[in-house]
Every structure is written in structure tokens, then in C-alpha cells.
Amino acid sequence: MPAGTFTMGSPPSEEGRDDDEGPHSVTIPAPFAVGVYEVTFAEWDACVRAGGCGGYAPADGGWGRGNRPVIYVSWDDAQAYVSWLSQQTGARYRLLSEAEWEYVARAGSRTARYWGESESGQCRNANGYAEFCDDGYEFETAPVGSFAPNVFGLYDALGNVWEWTQDCRNWSYAGAPSDGSAWQSGNCGRRVLRGGSWNNSPRNLRSAYRSRNPTGDRYLNYGFRVARTLN
């Protein structure tokens, strides 16, 4: 991902917005790497086989493993995975900051979703719940890469599974870092999730939408994507 400046959050006119989405300018000062796909069961299971990730083998909801995004993983679990991956590779893997996440999800767009303002493009671009169309995965996750990528080449930046970020929960952007780094103060017992999931409505599948949950929570629509710091 290239360095750059963008407006994080949503304008007052955006349909479905929440009060904690107040826009502010963020500058990403240096390039960094990000996973093209959400972390899959195959990748998680490799960690477990190698003796990492606390030996935790999450359930797959009966939908299968392989290239489906890993689910039932907490923020703490995600930290165990990036720690193991860093040890295995010698590179610094981590979760994205909330600002980095929105930057790569937007991929230069200023609209509610990276494909535009309208909800109508959801079935082509994201696995979410919508009454106006059938995307083929209405009640389950989809194999990663099943939908169209955004301009940056990322798949499932919106929908499929919620993605944990590094940031502590704060109720507004007042005092938020403007350099793209993770916000490591506030309610750090809860961490921010982004992107919405397979069972969320179009309102949640917006680039600016923010959710948060305790670091130990595991749900059937929680997953993550990795980032890598570049020297």
C-alpha cells in the first residue's frame, strides 16, 4: 500500500452514519503491506499444526475450512497469530490500525462504499445480508476472493467477516492520531472491528462504520486481516 492522505470517517450527509464517524484528515506516512485476503482457516490451521496460536482450533460453523476466512477468533487470538507469523518469517506482522484499515478499504474512494454510494452493488462486491438480492452466501461466509476486489486489489474489505484492528475503543475521533498509527489509549479492553460481515445489513457495510467488542470475544462472524511493516 502506498503512503497517502485521506479523509477518515463519513460526512453528515451519509445515509446510515453514526455520531462516532466524524471525519478527520489522516496521513499514512510510509508504504506498508496488507493481506490481499482475510486470514483463512488454512493459514490458521497451519499455525496450530506448527505449535502456535495456543493450539486453538476454532469451529467452522459447518461451512468448511480451507480458503474460508477463519471465524470464532478474538482480538487476543489474532495477536497470537501475528506473533507466530512474525517469529516464523522474521518480518514484523501485525494487525492494521483502524486508520490503515479504512485507508485500504476505501482505496481512494470518498463514497460510502468502495464501489459507490448505493447499496445496490453489494451483491457483486461484498458478502453481506441484503433483501434486494442473493449473493449466493446469504447465511454463511464465502471463500476469500469470491467477490470483486477494490481498486487496491483487496478482497472482502467489506463483508464476509468483521476484521479486528489494533485500536482501543474511543467514542469519537477527538484526539485520534493523524499519522495512521493505532490509537493505544481509551477503552483498551475493547478493540475496534471494521468492515461488517456476511450477516450484517448494508448499513454496516460502509467504509466508515465502526464496531467494538471485548478483546476475548469469539463470534462466528469475527476474523482479521494482517499487515506487515516495511523497512
Running DSSP on this structure, what letter comes out for residue 195?
S
**DSSP SS3 for 131:** coil
182 and 165 in contact (C-beta within 8 Å)?
yes
What is the per-residue pLDDT across 178-194, written as a single tens digit (0 to 9) for each?
A: 999 999 999 999 999 99
What is the per-residue pLDDT across 89-103, written as a single tens digit (0 to 9) for each?
A: 999 999 999 999 999
φ and ψ of 75, to 5 deg: -60, -40
Instruction: Give me the CATH number covering residue 80.
Output: 3.90.1580.10
How far apart (Å, rounded) are the C-alpha atoms in residues 16 and 146?
26
Query: 8-19 b/e with 16+ CB inside 10 Å = b?
Result: bbbeeebebbee
Domain count of the fold of the chain: 1
What is the structure's pLDDT at 132? 86
Domain that holds residue 67: 4-229
How far apart (Å, rounded) are the C-alpha atoms in residues 179 and 4?
10
Give the residues of the chain that fall short of pLDDT 70. Answer: none
Pairing, β 92-95 against β 226-229: antiparallel
Residues 6+ apart with CB under 8 A from 160: 38, 69, 126, 127, 141, 142, 144, 147, 195, 197, 198, 223
**pTM confidence score:** 0.97
- Sheet of 210-214: strand order equals 210-214, 187-194, 162-169, 222-223
